[in-house]
Amino acid sequence: MRAATGQEAYRTRRAAEPVSRYAGCMTQAEKAAQLRQMHRGPSILRLCNVWDAASARIVERAGFPAVATSSAGVAFSLGYPDVEAIPAAEMLAQVGRIARAVAVPVTADLEAGYEDIERTAIGLVEAGAVGLNLEDFQDGKLVELEAQIEKIRMIRRVGERLGVPVVINARTEIYLAQLGDAATRFERSVERLSAYRDAGADCLFVPGVRDEETIAALVKALQFPLNILAVAGSPTVDRLQELGVARVSLGSGPMRATMGLMRRMAEELRDSGTYKRMLDGPVTYAEANEWMPRVPLK
């Protein structure tokens, strides 16, 4: 009998062992299957995006069935601007810390996949995550359609090879980046998203859309799970569900809101020498300490 290859051994281990620090959790493959099913359940999937282990534990303890990272949130927390300024290795290392801190499925925003989509997909699985966002904007422009399709197919092949069917949330930037003629954005978005669906994506993401008419038209045109980014002026979650949306996420909003609170606390301390903002609803030290894993996350 031939010896197992490194990838075969990894696949066997991943299929049999939990990846979280918490006992009794599912295997990575089971988490992937559960996350995929969440996009087709009776209720819209709500994702409050996180950037580190502490924020992930807060979201998990609040009862969310999955944890999603924000690429901007992770980048800001590690001292980088958004849009692939952070090295892939650092992004994936943070995803790994998050995945090891929670028992629920983790999906990671990995921007456009960095320089080598195969290595990125392998790194995602090795980090313990089971899904990813993949956008089609890189180096200041839209990725060629065929190249983006091949990225999706490569992620699917890597997942099959490693025994973890990665959940792919394929994203187009046409609306968010306001690319091209506004009159053709809907048709161009549908063209790209339909191609991503046919290439093997599990959900389709259109950030930058918040009006009900366009959202409803996208749902009708795509006939596939749709992710909407919640921003100021977006419909409520209940209304998004009525429109047929499968998934709603907050992106970098929670991280930026936290940064805003930190700024207000700093300004209050600097200007008035008081601590009111810091004392308005904080997690206690005992709670925070209890919530954290007892095993190092490195």
**Digit-coded pLDDT (tens) for 70-83:** 999 999 999 999 99
How far is C-alpha 59 from the chain's CA centre?
Answer: 13
How many CB atoms lie under 10 A from the CB of residue 31?
A: 27
The pLDDT of residue 296 is 62
Token pair listed for 120: 């990125």
At 21 the pLDDT is 47
List the structure tokens of 59: 């979201």
Buried b (16+ CB within 10 A) or exposed e, 91-122: bbbbbbbbbbbbbbbbbbbbbbbbeebeebbb
* Beta bridge mates, 134: 170
266 pLDDT exceeds 50?
A: yes
Q: What is the pLDDT of residue 294?
A: 73
User: What b/e string do you get for 142-161 counting C-beta neighbours within 10 Å, with b at 16 or more?
Assistant: bbeeeebbebbebbbebbeb
Q: Give the residue from 107, 140, 99, 111 showing the smallest Cα distance to 32.
A: 107
Q: What percent of the chain has pLDDT over 70?
A: 90
**How crowded is residue 140: how many other Cβ atoms within 10 Å of its Cβ?**
7
Mean pLDDT, range 224-228, rounded to an integer: 98
Mean pLDDT across 180-188: 97
Q: Are strands 131-135 and 106-109 parallel, antiparallel or unpaired?
A: parallel
Of 21-35, 54-68, 88-102, 252-266, give the lowest mean pLDDT range: 21-35
Whether 38 shows a pLDDT value over 60: the answer reads yes
Going through 22-161 in order, the beta strands assigned E by DSSP cover: 45-47, 67-68, 106-109, 131-135, 137-138, 141-142
Give the residue extent of every domain in the chain.
6-251
Q: Which amino acid is at 246?
A: A
pTM: 0.90
Contact present, 218 and 246 (Cβ < 8 Å): no
* Alpha carbon distance 83, 281 (integer Å): 33
Please give the residue that has the higher pLDDT: either 22 or 48.
Answer: 48
For residue 9, pLDDT over 70 is answered with: no
Type of residue numbered 17: E
pLDDT in tens, 117-165: 999 999 999 999 999 999 999 999 999 999 999 999 999 999 999 999 9
Q: What value does the mean pLDDT take over residues 244-263?
A: 98
The model's pLDDT over 66-114, given as tens digits with 9 standing for 90+, comes to 999 999 999 999 999 999 999 999 999 999 999 999 999 999 999 999 9
Mean local confidence (pLDDT), 13-27: 51
Measure the CA–CA gap between 10 and 158, rounded to whole angstroms: 12
The per-residue b/e assignment along 235-267, b for 16 or more CB within 10 angstroms, e otherwise, is: beeeebbebbbbbbbbbbbbbeeeeeeeeebee
Helix (H) / strand (E) containing 247: strand 247-249
Q: How far is residue 140 CA from its own chain's centroid? A: 21
Instruction: Assess whether pLDDT exceeds 80 at residue 185.
Output: yes
Residue 228 host element (H or E) = strand 226-229
**Across the chain, what does the average pLDDT equal?**
92
CB under 8 Å to 176, separation ≥6 — which residues? 207, 208, 229
Would the pLDDT of 179 be above 70?
A: yes
- For the 6-251 domain, the top CATH level (class) is alpha beta
